[in-house]
Amino acid sequence: MNPTITAFERSPDRGRGLARDMRIRWALEEVGQSCDVRLVSFAAMKQPAHLALHPFGQIPTYEEGDLVLFESGAILLHIAQRHLGLLPEGANARARAMAWLFAALNTMEPPIVEYGMSKLFERDKPWFEQRHPMLEERVRTRLGQLSAHLSDTDWLDGDFSLGDLMMVTVLRRLDGHGVVEDYPHLAAYVARGEARPAYQRAFQAQLAVFNRAAAGPATPPSPATG
Ligand code: GTB
């Protein structure tokens, strides 16, 4: 039986694949597991039925038999442990791949999200002009360090793993900000991830959802978080 994931009924990213269901869709494509997708509105996410799956009223969630998961990192790890293809063989290599998963989520994603949120929601605040350059500097520090590690290798540690999948999706949050382009190793790394057939299939699937919604009646934009 297919697992069921949840995704935005109408993603505020307008089909750019920046919401966190994309990383789950991509992982499932990499391991050859199809899934059912239940689309949820912002209002439905805060209702008891969805809160029973996700205590913070967000997407993505993952249901498989009697297992219900939230948190994209936990879902990705679960998929990688259940299927071949996203974790290397060998205990040490697996541990390092997981370290990169956590590095993407804990070290890279927070400053990147903070920077994006500042640009999106705080432009009119009196502190914006002072605070925003500091947030950009924090992002650039991490990008510089990651770029130095990656250098001109294809992936973070040997073969493509769940750590790369998560890292590429996190770096993609900077899409359109003109920042990653200053780090050619990272720009090439993101492009390598995006060129994978599994990524392409996942991207097209989420884009189709957006295009279908856009063809329907308009709904007011919602202030997505995270
Ligand atoms: N830590 C959780 C995880 O990793 O799963 C975070 C989940 C999360 O932030 N989900 C967001 C959500 O449900 C969607 S992905 N927000 C609604 C809410 O909190 O009410 C974040 C996101 C939203 C929009 C864009 N975008 O428009 O570009 C990108 C990413």
Looking at the CA of residue 45, tell me the nearest atom of ligand 1.
Answer: 20
What does the alpha-carbon distance between residue 3 and residue 189 come to, in Å, rounded to a whole number? 29
Angle at which helix 91-102 crosses helix 72-82, to 10 degrees, equals 160
The domain made up of 91-196 has a fold known as Glutathione S-transferase Yfyf (Class Pi); Chain A, domain 2 (1.20.1050)
Beta bridge pairs of residue 69? 62
Total-model pTM: 0.96
Residue 225 is predicted with a pLDDT of 63
CA of 91 to the centre of ligand 1 (A): 32
Residue 22 and residue 173 in contact, taking contact as beta carbons nearer than 8 Å: no
- The segment(s) of the chain belonging to CATH 3.40.30.10 are 4-85+198-213
Per-residue pLDDT band at 217 (split at 50, 70, 90) = confident
Alpha helices in 69-226 (DSSP H): 72-82, 91-102, 109-121, 128-150, 162-172, 184-194, 197-215
Report the separation in Å between the CA atom of 37 and the middle of ligand 1, taken as the mean of its atom positions: 16
- CATH 1.20.1050.10 in the chain, residue ranges: 91-196
Closest approach atom of ligand 1 to CA 14: 27
Question: Is the confidence at residue 220, as pLDDT, over 70?
Answer: no
Which listed CATH number (3.40.30.10, 3.40.50.1000, 3.50.50.60, 3.40.50.20) goes with 4-85+198-213? Answer: 3.40.30.10
pLDDT given for residue 226 in this prediction: 73
Hey, whose CA ends up nearest to atom 19 of ligand 1?
Answer: 225
Residue 208, burial from CB neighbour count under 10 angstroms (0-12, 13-18, 19+): exposed
Q: What percent of the chain has pLDDT over 70?
A: 96
Q: Ligand 1: residues within 6 Å at CB?
A: 12-13, 18-20, 45, 57-60, 71-73, 224-226
How far is the centre of ligand 1, averaged over its atoms, from the C-alpha of 160 (Å)? 25
59 Cα to the center of ligand 1, angstroms: 6
How far, in Å, is the centroid of ligand 1 from the Cα of 226? 4
Q: What is the mean pLDDT of residues 195-213?
A: 97
Instruction: Please provide the average confidence, as pLDDT, over all residues in the chain.
Output: 96
